[in-house]
Amino acid sequence: MDRVIFLSLVLAVAACENSGSGPGSSASPPAGALRISEIQGTGDVSPFDGQTLTVSGIVSGDFQDNDADTTRNLGGFYLQQDSADSNALTSEGLFVFDGNNPTTDVNIGDRVDVTGVVGEHFGETQIKATAVTVTGSGHIEPIDVHLPVSGVVVNSDGQQIADLERYEGMLVRFPQALTISNLRFLEQFGEVGLSQGGRIFQFTNGNAPDVAAYAVHVNSIAARTITLDDGLRTAFPTPVSYLTAGSSPSYSIRVGDSIKGLTGNLRYSRGSAGSGEETWRLVPTSVPVFSSNNPRPAQPARQGTTRVASANVLNYFSGIDNSQPTCGPLSTDNCRGADSSTEHHRQLSKTSAALATMAADIIGLIELENNASASTSAIVDALNKRVGADRYAFVDTGTIGDDAIKTGFIYDTTRLELSGPFALLDKSVDSRFDDSRNRPALAQTFEVQSTGAKLTVIVNHLKSKGSSCEADGDPNTGDGQGNCNITRQNAAAAIADWIATDPTGSGDPDFLVIGDLNAYSMEDPIRALTNNGLVNLLANARDPCSFVFDGQSGALDHALATASLAGQVTQALEWHINADEPALLDYNLENGRNPALFDPDSPYRSADHDPIIVDFNLTN
């Protein structure tokens, strides 16, 4: 039989390290009771783990199941004591788990006695209640917590996170404005990643690669971030938490938006029944309201006579993904894209809406199914239905290389015509260009019908950072550039030298390199291009970004021009319609997603990368 200990949990007094109390009524706590701070202790695990206790305290957060509040269901509630101890490292808050059908319904401000067993659940100290009795009332004032915190710890997954152990279970407030940095798990787990000091950018987006400095960057991110959790144990909640939690009726949440004065209980958990990431989570005790600091951008006004764009089409495949390895030129690759005819129609509608809205004369497409022409032809047909029959055409390249996806070109036939054949850069042209890792570069020269001016565009999709190239002698060195940096750097150097050969026979020095180079702005592949005379057209942009990964923003998509062409540029921009939007607005329908969230005529979240748009006044 477990030893029974009586623990007194009363109100927390407002202090620099502890919360405050107001007047209330209560029964006297049992004589000789322990404090909650003693139960929490100074370590990650309670010194009373596995023992049966009786505790008394004030409810600071109500997350019970099967009560009037159906928006939160963690299966319990938080208690807090009313006076701080002398140790700033111990918490005065504790979670009480009382299951799916609690016998006693509590509310914030209730003083309760609880009997149960102390345990650790996904790293959070809890009491599993066997009896709960309301004995009076009281009030808890939240304690202010400021980011960045002074300490960082490593979780069981080896990830650095903020050290907030001394606040576990307590009612806290983040008085600073916190910026939305991550919406990756909004749909699945009801989570919003928040950061102090603005949105977080990839280290090499603004810094030269460096092992020591990158380690400092990772530490800094951990100290300044917190996860806002929806307080639900269920995954894929309906409706989706926080999606429209703004101050305006038309609000849709985006990375870069902010919130101030966020208040709730701080818990350590994997979230959503243990299936999320292990970190500190703020479960709010009131409805969060976000400020729209990063509103959706409108259609960019044309500022030149010719517009070129690059656009990711989110693995557009002309067929349906049947989970069989039947795709790619060799019919041995796993298929991607839509999993049903309904999804396929939605994807094509959303893609054509985005392409029509950008109104470009030349568009380099990325992540097309690598078939003879069906994928590109389908996109052109859908686009022409929106803008006028036969206005756009595609460059008929057939299959390119042997990857499942390829790049491609579409162009406005009312303004431009092809000048000469397309050209491909692969290892047969330059051994530095490893086309078993990088997709072959595709070049095409276009001629403006009204003036005869020529422009050669090279669209690219270099090796991603997502898998290792260590077998090729190209390891992740820990300097911030990730996997396969040498592979991308060699490919970029090959592109620069290829330009000098005039691969399409244009006889014109105006070349534009666009696409997903999978390298951030200060990384070696970008420098391999600029060191060979190409001009980075987005170099003067403040914190350029076209993609959000792991809560960090950065520019993977680029536009670089030869010196002769750079002088003819009138505008270069990232059109932020995709990366900052939650993924749940795209064409997919898995996991019970509400179909009504989808707008087939809206360009927003047509892909996960933002398009790059460049306007020119071509003079020759």
Query: Taking the complete model, does pTM exceed 0.75, yes or no?
Result: yes
Residue 29 — pLDDT band, cuts 50, 70, 90? low
Tokens 């190239």 locate to: 469
- How much is the average pLDDT of 452-475? 98
**Which CATH fold topology does 4-141 show?**
OB fold (Dihydrolipoamide Acetyltransferase, E2P) (2.40.50)
* 36-40, 536-540, 557-561: range with lowest mean pLDDT: 36-40
Residue 31 — pLDDT band, cuts 50, 70, 90? low
CATH placement of domain 306-616? 3.60.10.10
Q: What percent of the chain has pLDDT over 70?
A: 95
- How much is the average pLDDT of 364-370? 98
Q: How far apart are CA 69 and CA 347, in angstroms?
A: 37
State pLDDT tens for residues 177-188: 999 999 999 999
Q: What pLDDT score does 14 carry?
A: 31
Q: What is the residue extent of each domain of the chain?
A: 4-141, 144-284, 306-616
**Nearest residue to 553 (alpha-carbon basis) of 543, 562, 565:** 543
State pLDDT tens for residues 36-56: 878 888 888 989 899 988 888
* 74-83, 373-382, 453-462: range with lowest mean pLDDT: 74-83
- What is the average pLDDT score of the chain? 92
Q: What pLDDT score does 28 carry?
A: 61
Asked if residue 410 lies in contact with residue 379, where contact means CB atoms within 8 angstroms, the answer is yes
Q: What one-character-per-residue DSSP string does 549-575 give?
A: ETTEEE--EEEEE-HHHHTTEEEEEE-
State pLDDT tens for residues 261-290: 999 999 999 988 788 899 999 999 999 999
State pLDDT tens for residues 562-578: 999 999 999 999 999 99
Is residue 6 pLDDT above 50, yes or no?
Answer: no
In terms of Cβ atoms closer than 10 Å to its own Cβ (0-12, 13-18, 19+), residue 25 is: exposed
Is residue 8 pLDDT above 80, yes or no?
Answer: no
Is residue 206 pLDDT above 50, yes or no?
Answer: yes
CB atoms within 10 A of CB 513: 28
Q: What one-character-per-residue DSSP string does 344-371 give?
A: HHHHHHHHHHHHHHHT-SEEEEEEEE-S
Asked if residue 85 lies in contact with residue 37, where contact means CB atoms within 8 angstroms, the answer is yes
Asked if residue 243 lies in contact with residue 151, where contact means CB atoms within 8 angstroms, the answer is no
Q: What pLDDT score does 5 carry?
A: 34
Q: How far apart are CA 229 and CA 369, in angstroms?
A: 37
Q: Which amino acid is at 509?
A: P
Q: What pLDDT score does 56 carry?
A: 87
